Structures are given as structure tokens and as C-alpha cells.
Amino acid sequence: EDKVVQSPLSLVVHEGDTVTLNCSYEVTNFRSLLWYKQEKKAPTFLFMLTSSGIEKKSGRLSSILDKKELFSILNITATQTGDSAIYLCAESRDDKIIFGKGTRLHILP
């Protein structure tokens, strides 16, 4: 069965904290690992990772891929209430994209 596993499933932190979200995947026909942020409606694209060990960064968000251990992490530093959302990890394969269940992140003011 196709599996992309995210942890934790939910997380509540205070504004200013740093969070790390985890994603593990399977290796079959792997092309890339994708991260999305979903607030009220459709997911919005954050990062695409194809190479191990190379950090992608956008403002306070960063992500890295480990192709040997088959996982990726998404870091958010100095969190703000606007970071509250569901963060989705997805594995892009040759023929389809498989999503994890997501991590629901809630930032308390």
C-alpha cells in the first residue's frame, strides 16, 4: 500500500516557538517530495525537494530531504498565528502523487 506518513498529526505551540514537522515516504519510483500549506481552501505549494541534504528556505520556513532514511522535515522558526494551518507532505512518483494525512498546526497568541 502506498504510504506517506506525517507526524505529529496535530501540534499546538505558542507564538515564537520553533516547530519541526516530519514526513516519511516509500522509495518506489520516487521523483520528489513536496510540502504544501492548507488554510481554509486549496493547498498552496511550499517546497519541492529532489536532492538529499540540500536545504530549501523561504523566510521562516525551511525543509530538507534525506533520501537514505526516506524522510523529510519542515521547520518553521519564530512561529506566528498566521502559520496556523494543515501542512501536507506528498511524494511525487512517476505516475502519481501520494499525500500524507497532514499535520494540523495551531499557533497560540
Partner 1 sequence: NAGVTQTPKFQVLKTGQSMTLQCAQDMNHNSMYWYRQDPGMGLRLIYYSASEGTTDKGEVPNGYNVSRLNKREFSLRLESAAPSQTSVYFCASKELLWDNEQFFGPGTRLTVL
Nearest distance in Å: CB 43, partner 1: 5
Q: Which stretch binds partner 1 (CB under 8 A): 14-22, 54-62, 77-85, 90-98?
A: 90-98
CA pair distance 73, 65, nearest whole angstrom: 7
Among 19, 23, 34, 64, binds partner 1 (CB under 8 A): 34
CA pair distance 36, 99, nearest whole angstrom: 10
Quick one: 64 or 90, whose CB is closer to partner 1?
A: 90
Q: How many CA atoms lie within 13 A of 84 on its CB side?
A: 11
Does 69 interact with partner 1 (rule: CB under 8 A)? no
Does 68 interact with partner 1 (rule: CB under 8 A)? no
- Prior bond of 43 cis (ω within 30°): no
Among 7, 24, 32, 84, binds partner 1 (CB under 8 A): 32
63-94: string of b/e by CB count within 10 Å (b at 16+)?
Answer: bbbebeeebbbbebeebeeebbbbbbbbbbbe
The residue ranges that bind partner 1 (CB under 8 A) are: 2, 6, 9, 31-32, 34, 41-43, 45, 48, 50, 88, 90, 92, 94-102
